[in-house]
Amino acid sequence: MKNLLAVSILLVGCSSTPGDDARPVGVPPGLIRPEAAAKPAPKTIPALTLEEALALADGHPELRELMARAEAAKGRADQAALWSNPEAILRIESAPFNSPGDGEFVAGISQRLALGGRLGAAERIELLEAEKLGHEHAARRLQRRSRVHAAFAVALHLTEAETAHAELVSHGEAGERLAKARIDAGDGLPEELARAELETLKLRVELERVRGLRAAAMVALAGEMGLGDSRITAVTGNLSQAFELPALEALQQAIDRHPEVLAADGDIAVQRGKIALAEAQRIPDLSVDLLYRRLGATKESAFDVGIGIAIPFTDRNQGRLREAHAEEVAAAARLSVTRIRLAAELKEAHVRLTLALATAKRLRDEVIPRANAILAAYEKRYSLGDASLSDVLPVRRDRAALKLAQLDALRDVMTEWSKMAPAFANR
């Protein structure tokens, strides 16, 4: 009996792998601890460029989640490739009640063997899942950067709009001083001064409104970057930077390399792997037993060898196989939907970008220069007393409206570019 206990303890002790306890529990190789998953973002960002905003957006929690899920799939792949642990057996058989020592003492191991390539099929599924999650991470990264790019365009637009409104207020104040000077010279009317003061007051109100919108845009930009607890005080850049309009045909050809398409295609590969696994699971596991037997009555030693296998009579895994085939069809349909959606979004963005570029160019090259020349002529006539304030104010408003329209067009260019660029460039 003591010998059998010693054998069983040895079997159990050999089942543990030396060094397993050296690794911290829950922290597999290559996975960063949660408390160190992201570098703390600065609480105050004084001047943010587009490149800096996009770089900070790469640390968004949404993207870290997908990276962790891909690591989890790799962990499942490692686990799926392992054989099940052998089972240690220790029991007494045929022991009489009046003399249990005359029974038969059995000790040994039992091992289940997976047949039909089941382990390899299970490992392949998880590796394909990790690859698919990698493509999903790339697709989500492009989407996140596109949203940050668009939010940055709004913030930069409102920053430049604030500057433009501040200039309008400055012009209005200059108009007030000119009206006062004309009154002092005896060449002006008090009504013109009152009108100039009212016009400046309206401009100040609009300036405060734009400043409020700019502050809200900064908050929205921080949220899109995943830095909701940070404060962005300013953004720097140039709305009028040159954008080259790519050919639509080249963009459409690039859809096949879009991460969303690659992820959807990877999902099909995962489902096909599940079909292969379901096929392999139709073959039952084989169980092999190797036992040492001690005959208590005669003090003789013996051994037992046994093989067991389930009979696939009622369960032939037909339900899972049917499910796997249906999921493959669904994955193929999702791939088609993804292609159709990306192509439609690409065409719409291309049309809007073409229109925004044309509008911004015409305003810059044709409309704004003429408005500047007309306003300069009216301002000169007003300073000389040849025109009244009633003649100058509409021209000022038109010039201001055109300048703001130009800023709106440049914002639209930047926004539509941010939507279309992920289709052909992994920024």
How far is it, in rounded angstroms, from Cα 251 to Cα 372?
39
pLDDT score for 26: 42
pLDDT score for 243: 61
Question: What's the chain's length in residues?
Answer: 427
AA identity, residue 113: L
How far is it, in rounded angstroms, from Cα 277 to Cα 286?
17
Helices (H) and strands (E) in the chain, counts: 10, 6
pLDDT score for 150: 87
Is the CB of residue 396 less than 8 Å from the CB of residue 375?
yes
The domain limits of the chain are 50-82+114-282+317-423, 86-113+285-316
In Å, how far from its chain's centre is CA 1?
63
Per residue in 122-146, pLDDT (tens digit) is: 999 999 999 999 999 999 998 898 8
pLDDT score for 186: 77
φ, ψ of residue 16 to 5 degrees: the values are: -90, 140
For domain 50-82+114-282+317-423, give its CATH number from 1.20.1600.10, 3.90.1170.40, 3.30.1330.40, 1.25.40.10: 1.20.1600.10
Q: What is the pTM of this model?
A: 0.75
Those residues whose C-beta lies under 8 Å from the C-beta of residue 101, and which sit 6 or more positions away, are 1, 95, 296
Please list the rounded mean pLDDT of every run of 10 residues in the chain (427 residues).
46 46 43 49 82 92 94 94 92 85 89 89 94 93 89 90 88 84 79 86 91 92 88 86 64 82 94 92 90 85 90 87 94 94 86 87 89 88 79 85 87 81 52
Is the CB of residue 287 less than 8 Å from the CB of residue 110?
yes
Per residue in 275-324, pLDDT (tens digit) is: 999 998 888 889 999 999 988 778 889 888 999 988 888 888 899 999 99
Angle between helices 190-224 and 389-420 in degrees, nearest 10: 10
